[in-house]
């Protein structure tokens, strides 16, 4: 024992689009930054993601969407966490998200949105500063 | 034999080279080279200069030849763009079938010579709009098709006996194709005259794009059904578009794209031969689909190498005799993954360069991406600029005046040879694994691509590779771009429409059709006729795909990272 | 504390998940909770699944879960994946294969990283098993990569340990001989759809037979099964074999509380004492700076490591 807290992150692909290049790359970057990453694989519903996140006791869920369904998928994920009393799990999103959707997503409780081109280092740093391992 | 260069020449060249390099050393001693290492997008190292010595063994007849002649390095048709320009085929599809139909009419009016349909995610995965899995995705990145009614609306008023239609669809390709055929037949147009393409390439889905439904083996079986049916019934249709595009988008290198795509082609051809088809009956209907990325010369070399390799594969490996079987005809799309959300207008320039590479590489048809593709679905204006880009290349730049203008360039020929050689190595490895299906099962291509993608991203992050506006020449100001929004109402309306169709059809008839489809699946009979019957009776996309899922099982993401 | 115990026993998912996290992160307070939970344990049947990377362990676990659920049994899964020695991070990829059970309330799946626990992996996994046991899961499946001693030790706490191999693992069979053989209650040749299955089967059989002297009259001789996890072939038979092994345990030990069998208890307690000692002593030494000072002295050649060790340990243990 006596390990100390370690950041645990769930990298999840909600929805039907299969573009997991970004999700896979970010999973590796998190690992290389010393985080423990649970990857859900593709084609997940928000319900499946939230249930898994609770069982895995992650500190953050990173959602990736590239097919325009982020509004429903991201917001539903946040809602479900709230319903289950797990709103302390930080939710972040990445992928093709139009600039003008970002305020609305943040309003709904998505903590941060990373648009294409954000360097991995910047994302990792954001996590280190904003996600506390319980 | 027609050796391009004489041995004696090399000695002279070597002497000249030594002299030049000495001079260079002096220069670089005071100011070093701009970069420590010069490399392509795929991180292939590039030399300072190329000379005949780099293509010492080049044989004109064997390696280059004339367009329309084996090994087709310079192009498949003898006339290439001197005869007819490439097909400017722009992908379109949004919202409902009616919306897309409007866009199609507009594109035809604008001078587009072929239609290309994008479907929404639920359609691509074989789900109806009312499935719980479809929530929030209906009509989002393409058109939603649930029943034949949608297909009828999609092509309403369009001259489908004269234009060709390309449908980007994979696991449910057989179903959508059946709908297209059914729609045509209802309008009195016979199958025989229909021209177009279904993507129908499942192997690259397991490797890269991850739109999957059934496991690899039954997937290839259904594809082989379509190949067989097409060969006999719809002779002008391209039944598979063997796609490297998505492999590249998933992060592969240029050589990986080349090798994995050709290996997929080999697997499909083997399956069709095993079915008892004559290679010369089906191979001419195979078409390819490549990515055109930013590294100009590497891409051109890739296209040239691809043609040469496929010709050899068909002739030597499959013993095809019909020269048409040796042809690698390909569609190209500029690289979506090369576009940036930052300073989006730069994307017009990137796309122009990529399109130029595709043209110099001898593409048969081309889609140019819109500048706003990374932000959302393209607006009409952005899509028009993208089309104009092709028209400028075709009619203003003069690059289409002569065939294969880069043929004979020391650099391009050397690169073509090098890529071919490396791609053979990968193909041999896949052969040793027992073919593409076993390689996929061992996650070999998936793992290779994941590694390449991570390496590429690392290089960008560490600024070893410049991406203008992202890691260099960055500005703070945001460029406002107009963005196309999809109406959220659409989902409800589409579901209503499908429910209406379901309530008006003969349900007993539908059940019978689905049972016949099930039998065909189980008893290993061709699925196409039962499918056409089923969709004519308005069985939905999901109802037919559920038959596949039930008989063949569902494939789940192995989650390779 | 009582509240936590109550919630765990009542099967509250969030509480269980957080408790396992505390165990994994080495929060000292969990010890009291584990003590209070212990009386609620001993009802679950623990199955260990181990084998080389990629042999199909997770796929097999996924299918076993499906079968157990069909029989209305509740299931807990602990999937252990290696921590990267370079970054200390990990990608825990087992869950991907089992994610279809995520919405099933009768299934709890947890991924754990090895974290370089110095033997503590065994300890924390064992505690996690206890938690799932107290939570009321009928079966607990523990997946580990059978590479390190640690991972092998983990499956020793199972009632039944399944060692998974694949066809054509000639050299690896040798490796198994060296390490995992003695822990195997059942051998599974997965991916039996592949060539070389029969060869592997006869190799394994030979190996077991050579060891036959070890199996006295009436003792359990590990059977070898063929499975094709992706195609759900042979999985039902595997569960039947596990059941047989369970019966054998009951007959030979007079109860399912194998984990309370003397040998097992001894093993487990030794482990526990070891890691507790390690934790208490090393942590304190690191905190006071004594450890680093000793390292320096050895590096500078002022002290030999033997003396350094004595100096560090003897006063702390009052030897
Ligand atoms: N051909 C075949 N492939 C299988 C079978 N079982 C599993 N696989 C495949 O083997 C690969 C690895 O499977 P996993 O279940 O992840 O293996 P694992 O042992 O859990 O892997 P690690 O946790 O990474 O050590 C996957 O691609 C599976 O689909 C089988 O019976 N036959
Ligand atoms: Mg596993």
Which residues of chain C make contact with A132, given a CB cutoff of 8 A? none
Q: What tens digit of pLDDT does each residue of A49-92 get? A: 999 999 999 999 999 988 778 889 999 999 999 999 999 999 99
User: Which of C51, C56, C155 for mutating ligand 1's site (highest number of atoms within 8 Å of CB)?
Assistant: C56
Give the pLDDT score at C118. Answer: 54
Over residues C68-82, the mean pLDDT reads: 96
For residue A114, what are its two tokens? 């990373």
**Torsion from C-alpha of B224, B226, B227, B229, nearest 10 degrees:** 120
**What is d(CA C64, CA C202) in angstroms, rounded to the nearest whole number?**
25
- What CA–CA distance (Å, rounded) separates B351 from B368? 6
* Per-residue model confidence (pLDDT) at position C273: 86
- DSSP characters for C239-298? HHHHHHHHHHHHHHHSSSGGGGSHHHHHHHHHHHHHHHHHHHHHHHHHHHTHHHHHHHHH
Identify the pLDDT of residue A1.
35
Which residue on chain B is closest to A44 by alpha carbon?
B133
b (16+ CB within 10 A) / e for B472-483: eeeeeeeeebeb
How far is the C-alpha of C35 from the C-alpha of C27, rounded, in Å? 14
Note whether C100 contacts B556, CB cutoff 8 Å: yes
For B499, what's the count of Cα atoms within 13 Å in the CB-facing half-sphere? 8
**Per-residue pLDDT at C26 exceeds 80:** yes
Mutate to test the interface with A, among C7, C14, C15, C25 (most CBs of A within 10 A): C25
Q: Residue range C38-47: average pLDDT?
A: 93
B-interface mutation test, from A11, A63, A69, most B Cβ less than 10 A away: A69
Least confident of A111-115, C84-88, C241-245: C84-88
A-C C-beta contacts closer than 8 Å: 107
Q: How many CA atoms lie within 13 A of C75 on its CB side?
A: 26
Residue B214, C-beta contacts closer than 8 angstroms, at least 6 positions apart? B171, B222, B548, B549, B552, B553, B554, B555
Chain B residues in contact with C93 by the CB 8 A cut-off are: 559, 561
Report the run of H or E that residue A10 belongs to, with start and end: strand A8-12
- Please report where in the chains the tokens 């969407």 appear, as a residue: A65
Structure tokens given for B153: 């609306």
**Min Cα separation C310/chain B (Å):** 46
How far apart, in whole angstroms, are the C-alpha atoms of residue B277 and residue A17? 35
Helix/strand/coil for C77? strand
- C111: contact with A, CB 8 A cutoff: yes
Contact C95 A56 (CB under 8 A): yes
* Exposed/middle/buried for residue A124 (C-beta within 10 Å: 0-12, 13-18, 19+): middle
Kindly give the number of the ligand 1 atom that is closest to the alpha carbon of B443.
Answer: 27
Q: CB B205 to CB A117 under 8 A?
A: no
Instruction: Assess whether pLDDT exceeds 50 at residue A2.
Output: no
Measure A48 CA to ligand 1 centroid, in angstroms: 22
Sequential DSSP letters for B20-38: HHHHHHHHHHHS--S-S--
Q: Is B454 on the interface with C (CB under 8 A)?
A: no
Do β-strands B87-92 and A36-39 pair in parallel, antiparallel, or remain unpaired?
unpaired
Residues B285-337 pLDDT 10s:
999 999 999 999 999 999 999 999 999 999 999 999 999 999 999 999 999 99
Ligand 1-lining residues (CB < 6 angstroms): B 441, 443, 558; C 53-59, 94, 97, 145, 190-191, 193-194, 228-230
- ∠ Cα C37 C41 C47 (to 5°): 130
Per-residue pLDDT of chain B (561 residues; tens, 9 = 90+): 577 777 788 888 889 999 999 999 999 998 899 998 999 999 999 999 999 989 988 999 999 999 999 999 999 999 999 999 998 887 776 778 988 899 889 888 877 778 889 899 999 999 999 998 998 889 888 899 999 999 999 999 999 998 899 999 999 999 999 999 999 999 999 999 999 999 999 999 999 999 999 999 999 999 999 999 999 999 999 999 999 999 999 999 999 999 999 999 999 999 999 999 999 999 999 999 999 999 999 999 999 999 999 999 999 999 999 999 999 999 999 999 999 988 999 999 999 999 999 999 999 999 999 998 877 777 888 989 999 999 999 999 999 999 999 999 999 999 999 999 999 999 999 999 999 999 998 899 999 999 999 999 999 999 999 999 999 999 887 766 666 666 678 899 999 999 999 999 999 999 999 999 999 999 999 999 999 999 999 999 999 999 999 999 999 888 777
Pick the CATH number of A8-128 from 3.40.50.280, 3.30.450.20, 3.40.50.300, 1.10.8.100: 3.40.50.280
Of A3, A84, A86, the CB nearest to C25: A3
B positions 35-64 inside 8 Å of A (CB): none
Q: Is A20 on the interface with C (CB under 8 A)?
A: no
Please name the member of A21, A73, A99 whose beta carbon is closest to the beta carbon of B453: A21
Q: Rg (Cα) of chain A, in Å, rounded? A: 14
Cβ-defined contact of C87 to A33 (cutoff 8 Å): yes
Q: What is the pLDDT of residue C147?
A: 65
Q: Does domain C2-256 have CATH number 3.40.50.300?
A: yes
- pLDDT digits 0-9 by tens, B345-367: 999 999 999 999 999 999 999 99
pTM of the prediction? 0.87
Q: What is the pLDDT of residues C3-16, one digit of tens each?
A: 999 999 999 999 99
Q: Pick from B124, B250, B467: which is nearest to A21 by CB?
A: B250
**Predicted pLDDT at C257:** 61
ipTM of the modeled complex = 0.94
Distance C25 CA to ligand 2 centre (A): 22
User: In whole angstroms, what is the distance from residue B192 CA to residue B186 CA?
Assistant: 14
Distance of CA C54 from the midpoint of ligand 2 (Å): 7
**To the nearest whole angstrom, how far is the Cα of C96 from the nearest Cα of chain B?**
6
Q: CB of B241 within 8 A of CB of B200?
A: yes
Question: What angle is formed at CA B484 by the lines to CA B478 and CA B485, rounded to 5 degrees?
Answer: 110
Is B377 in contact with A18 (Cβ distance < 8 A)? Answer: no
Q: How far is the CA of C292 from the centre of ligand 2 (A)?
A: 38
Whether pLDDT at C193 is above 70 = yes
pLDDT in tens, C241-277: 999 999 988 887 666 565 556 777 787 788 788 878 8
Q: What is the dihedral angle through the alpha carbons of B364, B368, B374, B376, rounded to the nearest 10 degrees?
A: -100
Choice from C114, C229, C233, C238 to test ligand 1 binding pocket (greatest atom count within 8 A of CB):
C229
Chain C residues whose CB is inside 8 A of the B556 CB are 97, 100
Point out the ligand 1 atom lying closest to the alpha carbon of residue C52: 25
Alpha-carbon distances, residue B258 vs B202, B243, B438, C114 (angstroms): 17, 10, 19, 39
Taking the domains of chain C in order of start, what are their residue ranges?
A: 2-256, 268-318
Residue located nearest, by CA, to atom 8 of ligand 1: C56
């Amino acid at each position: 024992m006596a390990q100390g807290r370690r950041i645990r992150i769930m990298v999840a692909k909600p929805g039907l689009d299969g573009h997991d290049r970004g999700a896979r790359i970010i999973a590796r970057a998190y690992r290389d930054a010393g985080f423990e990453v649970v990857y859900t694989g593709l084609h997940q519903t928000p319900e499946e993601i939230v249930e898994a996140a609770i069982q895995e006791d992650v500190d953050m869920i990173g959602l990736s969407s590239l097919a325009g369904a982020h509004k429903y998928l991201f917001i539903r994920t946040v809602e479900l966490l709230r319903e289950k009393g797990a709103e302390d799990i930080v939710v972040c999103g990445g992928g093709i998200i139009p600039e003008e959707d970002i305020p609305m997503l943040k309003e709904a409780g998505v903590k941060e949105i990373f648009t294409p081109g954000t360097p991995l280092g910047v994302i990792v740093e954001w996590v280190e500063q904003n996600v506390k391992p319980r | 034999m027609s050796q391009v260069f004489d041995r004696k020449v090399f000695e002279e060249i070597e002497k000249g080279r030594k002299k030049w390099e000495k001079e260079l050393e002096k220069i670089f001693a005071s100011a070093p080279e701009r970069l420590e290492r010069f490399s392509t997008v795929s991180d292939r190292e590039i030399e300072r200069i190329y000379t005949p010595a780099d293509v010492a063994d080049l044989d004109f007849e064997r390696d280059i030849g004339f367009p329309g002649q084996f090994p087709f390095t310079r192009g498949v048709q003898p006339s290439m763009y001197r005869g007819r320009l490439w097909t400017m085929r722009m992908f379109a599809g949004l919202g409902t079938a009616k919306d897309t139909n409007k866009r199609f009419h507009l594109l035809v009016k604008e001078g587009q010579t072929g239609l290309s349909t994008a479907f929404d995610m639920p359609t691509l995965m074989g789900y109806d709009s009312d499935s719980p899995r479809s929530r929030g995705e209906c009509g989002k990145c393409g058109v939603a098709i649930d029943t034949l009614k949608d297909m009828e609306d999609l092509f309403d008023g369009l001259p489908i006996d004269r234009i060709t239609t390309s449908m980007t669809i994979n696991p449910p390709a057989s179903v959508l194709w059946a709908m297209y055929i059914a729609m045509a037949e209802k309008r009195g147009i016979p199958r025989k005259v229909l021209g177009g393409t279904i993507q129908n390439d499942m192997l690259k889905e397991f490797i890269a794009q991850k739109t999957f439904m059934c496991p690899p083996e039954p997937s290839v079986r259904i594809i082989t059904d379509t190949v067989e049916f097409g060969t006999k019934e719809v002779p002008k249709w391209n039944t598979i578009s063997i796609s490297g595009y998505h492999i590249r988008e998933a992060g592969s290198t240029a050589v990986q794209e080349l090798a994995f795509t050709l290996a997929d082609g080999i697997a499909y051809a083997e399956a069709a031969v095993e079915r008892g088809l004559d290679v010369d009956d089906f191979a001419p209907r195979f078409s390819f689909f490549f990515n055109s990325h930013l590294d100009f010369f590497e891409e051109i070399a890739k296209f040239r190498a691809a043609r040469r390799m496929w010709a050899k594969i068909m002739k030597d490996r499959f013993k095809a005799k019909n020269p048409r079987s040796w042809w690698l005809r390909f569609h190209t799309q500029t690289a979506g993954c090369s576009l940036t959300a930052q300073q989006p207008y730069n994307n017009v320039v990137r796309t122009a360069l990529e399109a130029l590479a595709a043209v110099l590489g001898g593409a048969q048809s081309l889609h140019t991406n819109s500048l706003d593709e990374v932000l959302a679905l393209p607006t009409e204006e952005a899509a028009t600029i993208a089309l104009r880009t092709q028209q400028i290349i075709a009619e203003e730049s003069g690059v289409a005046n002569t065939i294969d203008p880069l043929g004979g360039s020391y650099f391009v020929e050397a690169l073509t040879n090098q890529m071919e050689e490396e791609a053979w190595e990968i193909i041999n490895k896949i052969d040793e694994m027992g073919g593409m299906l076993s390689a996929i099962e061992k996650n070999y291509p998936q793992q290779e691509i994941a590694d390449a993608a991570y390496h590429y991203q690392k290089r960008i992050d560490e600024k070893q590779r410049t991406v203008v506006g992202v890691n260099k020449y960055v500005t703070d100001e945001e460029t406002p771009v107009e963005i196309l929004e999809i109406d959220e109402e659409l989902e409800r309306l589409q579901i209503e429409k499908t429910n209406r169709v379901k309530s008006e059809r003969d349900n007993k008839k539908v059940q019978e059709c689905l049972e016949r489809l099930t039998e065909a699946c189980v008893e290993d009979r061709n699925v196409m006729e039962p499918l056409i019957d089923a969709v004519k009776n308005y069985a939905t996309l999901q109802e037919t795909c559920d038959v596949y899922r039930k008989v063949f099982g569902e494939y789940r993401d192995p989650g390779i990272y | 504390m009582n509240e936590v115990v109550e919630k765990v026993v009542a099967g509250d998912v969030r509480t269980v998940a957080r408790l396992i996290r505390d165990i994994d992160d080495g929060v000292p307070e969990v010890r009291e909770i584990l003590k209070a939970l212990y009386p609620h344990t001993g009802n679950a049947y623990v199955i260990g699944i181990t084998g080389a990377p990629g042999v199909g362990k997770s796929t097999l676990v996924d299918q076993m879960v499906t079968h157990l659920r069909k029989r209305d049994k509740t299931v807990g899964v602990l999937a252990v994946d290696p921590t990267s020695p370079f970054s200390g991070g990990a990608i825990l990829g087992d869950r991907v294969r089992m994610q279809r059970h995520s919405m099933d309330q009768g299934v709890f799946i947890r991924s754990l990283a090895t974290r370089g626990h110095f033997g503590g992996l065994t300890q924390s996994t064992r505690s996690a098993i206890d938690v799932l046991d107290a939570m009321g899961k009928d079966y607990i499946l523990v997946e580990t990569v059978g590479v390190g001693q640690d991972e092998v030790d983990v499956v020793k706490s199972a009632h039944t340990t399944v060692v998974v191999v694949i066809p054509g693992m000639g050299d690896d069979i040798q490796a198994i001989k060296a390490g995992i053989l003695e822990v195997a209650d059942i051998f599974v040749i997965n991916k039996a759809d592949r060539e070389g299955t029969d060869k592997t089967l006869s190799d394994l059989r030979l190996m077991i037979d050579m060891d036959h002297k070890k199996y006295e009259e009436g003792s359990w001789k590990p059977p070898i099964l063929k499975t094709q996890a992706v195609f759900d072939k042979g999985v039902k038979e595997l569960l039947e074999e596990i059941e047989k092994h369970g019966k054998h345990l009951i007959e030979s030990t007079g109860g399912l509380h194998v984990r309370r069998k003397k040998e097992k208890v001894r093993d487990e307690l030794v482990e526990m004492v070891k890691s507790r000692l390690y934790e208490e002593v090393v942590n304190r030494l690191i905190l006071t700076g004594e450890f680093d000072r000793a390292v320096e002295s050895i590096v500078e050649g002022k002290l030999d490591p033997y003396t350094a060790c004595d100096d560090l340990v003897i006063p702390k243990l009052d030897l």
